[in-house]
Amino acid sequence: MAGPQVKVIVLRTAGTNCDREMVFAFSSLGAAVELVHINRLFSREVRLSDFHILAIPGGFTYGDDIMSGRILANELRIRLSEEIKDFVHEGKLILGVCNGFQVLVRAGILPGSKSSSGNLTFQQTVSLSNNDSGKFEDRWVHLRLSGDSVWTKGLDEMMYVPIAHAEGKFVVPNEETLSQLKKNNQIAFRYCNTDGEKGGYPVNPNGSIDDIAGITDPTGRILGMMPHPERHFSPLNHPAWTRKDHLSHLGQGANIFLNGVRYAREQLLGKTQVAVAKG
């Protein structure tokens, strides 16, 4: 692709295991992607400021000791908070999927507040706890688009993507926190049935309050979600692909990554030449 490229940093550490899929998703859409171990950020061998998008993939960082994502969240909060504040203040993008969502929540980067742009407090206010089923949930789920953010602009009203987690139940400390998320239009995705309606288990696979599957910060530039869009990047990932009459160019999850690349190109590089895929 001619001209400057959108630069994406995919963060990894001990236990990360969805990093290659994340790299593939962004690089397939024309971004320049670097897979970086967190120690390279600590040593300043690599600088966060050189990138437009920070992506934290799924996995079991540090074996999910203590709780899922807690150790990596503490490292970001304690050792990289100033760099992350500057990154957000500059209008750049952050994506956290599954364990990455857990990290963003436990670091206090999500859900943020109206003053979150450049003024992150790194205080945890919501959480992701053990699934109500008491077991690891590995299945495909339907999602209903709820919010309107950089990452979700123009997406299909419903998506079909896989989940793989044991601690995906989104919880809030009180009704006021939930009301604030709704008021700020921060709920990005909700679990739903094939008709787009609410449902019990396994439609809501973990018992999340209000069926919440993903949220953004108030700016819409930071997205965290439990389902894995990178695992439905290709239409061949769909479990029923052999029974489809036709296949689209990309899977439904791909448009999330394409939205991020397009926004960064238009707003951070001043480019406009990225087309939105029709899933």
Q: Which residues are catalytic?
A: 98, 228, 230
- Kindly tell me the burial class for residue 219, based on how many C-beta atoms sit within 10 Å of its own C-beta (0-12, 13-18, 19 or more): middle
Return d(Cα 240, Cα 261) in angstroms, integer. Answer: 28
Q: What is the DSSP string of 195-212?
A: TS----TTTSSS--GGGE
List C-alpha distances in Å: 4 to 53, 109, 120, 151. Answer: 14, 29, 29, 21
List C-alpha distances in Å: 225 to 56, 96, 186, 263, 271. Answer: 11, 7, 12, 19, 27
Residue 170: CA atoms inside 13 Å, Cβ hemisphere, count? Answer: 28
Q: Which residues contact 219 (CB under 8 A, 6 or more apart)?
A: 112, 116, 117
Cβ-contact 78, 39 below 8 angstroms: no
